[in-house]
């Protein structure tokens, strides 16, 4: 790995090789949802909670102070208003992200959709540009689409482990430095994912979860399975106390805290 990429990646991954990332790219997809109105106020709270990195679109990145947190600029998007919302189109270049001071860039790829081939082509092209400029690449890769629905054998609502392993492996095969994907529901199955992927894997948070304990348990179990941390948005920025929630997650990811320790930080035990 080139020295520039190594240096930038260290601003995302701590010395333990793990990270707590808070994605806030939802405004394009979903609009100005709860938690994403006053962006600077939110970012101030995340900084106090010891967040390692935040993930933003270019327009927001131009107007806020990221303090000493790592900055990840997201490069493609779609909206829920589109008839083909699974098709993420390029909206920012690697070069523009560098001009904005990005330490890393990210892209979203949906495997199993009709536009999968274009998104894979885009992943490969962005990976090449990142190699030229020494910029790390986070690939958010998820099984989506009608094919996935037909071939998901999981009975409990989680994704089939083989589908998640395949998605994560695609990211590492095509040059991503970090892969974000779904948690598979158990330590044993997610360990299969982390072993199959050649690069660090972080878990997505998904929609707002039922309880704080559910979220912290998922984070804890993913770390026990060899995960490299989290990239969780709504379950942090829509929490009543985002600073405390990110502090609790950071304690689990970086300090070997238990779920009960995390709940104590939240004041929920």
Which amino acids are annotated catalytic?
Answer: 25, 142, 180
Print burial letters for 113-147: b (CB count within 10 Å at least 16), e (below 16).
bebbeebeebbeebbebbeeebbbbbbbbbbbbee
d(CA 107, CA 231): 13
Classify residue 84 as exposed, middle or buried by CB count within 10 Å of its CB (0-12, 13-18, 19+): exposed
Question: Are 45 and 242 within 8 A, CB to CB?
Answer: yes
Q: What is the DSSP letter of 144?
A: -
Print burial letters for 174-204: b (CB count within 10 Å at least 16), e (below 16).
bbbbbbbbbbbbeeebbbbbbebbebbbbbb
**Residue linked to tokens 């690069």:** 199
Q: Which two tokens stand for residue 58?
A: 């270019």
DSSP strand pairing (70-74 vs 76-77): unpaired
Nearest of 137, 134, 112, 135 to residue 123 by alpha carbon:
137
265: Cβ contacts below 8 Å, ≥ 6 apart: 244, 247, 248, 251, 257
**Chain centroid, CA 230 distance in Å:** 6
- Indicate the helix (H) or strand (E) that contains 180: strand 178-181
């Amino acid at each position: 790995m080139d020295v520039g990429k190594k240096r930038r990646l260290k601003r995302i991954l701590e010395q333990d090789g793990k990270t707590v990332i808070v994605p806030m790219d939802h405004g394009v997809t979903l609009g100005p949802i709860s938690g994403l109105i006053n962006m600077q106020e939110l970012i101030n709270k995340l900084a106090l909670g010891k967040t390692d990195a935040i993930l933003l679109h270019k327009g927001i990145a131009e107007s806020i102070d990221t303090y000493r947190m790592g900055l990840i600029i997201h490069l493609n998007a779609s909206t829920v208003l589109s008839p083909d919302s699974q098709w993420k189109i390029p909206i920012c270049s690697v070069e523009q992200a560098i001009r904005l001071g990005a330490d890393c860039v990210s892209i979203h790829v949906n495997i199993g959709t009709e536009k999968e081939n274009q998104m894979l082509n885009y992943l490969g092209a962005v990976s090449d540009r990142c190699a030229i400029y020494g910029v790390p690449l986070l690939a958010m890769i998820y099984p989506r689409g009608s094919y996935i629905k037909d071939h998901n054998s999981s009975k409990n609502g989680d994704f089939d482990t083989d589908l998640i392993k395949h998605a994560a492996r695609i990211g590492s095969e095509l040059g991503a430095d970090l892969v974000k994907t779904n948690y598979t529901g158990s330590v044993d199955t997610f360990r299969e994912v982390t072993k199959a992927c050649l690069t660090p894997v972080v878990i997505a948070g998904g929609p707002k979860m039922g309880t704080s304990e559910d979220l912290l348990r998922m984070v804890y179990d993913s770390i026990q399975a060899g995960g490299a941390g989290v990239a969780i948005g709504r379950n942090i920025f829509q929490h009543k106390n985002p600073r405390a929630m990110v502090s609790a997650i950071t304690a689990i990811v970086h300090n070997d805290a238990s779920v009960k320790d995390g709940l104590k930080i939240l004041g929920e035990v």
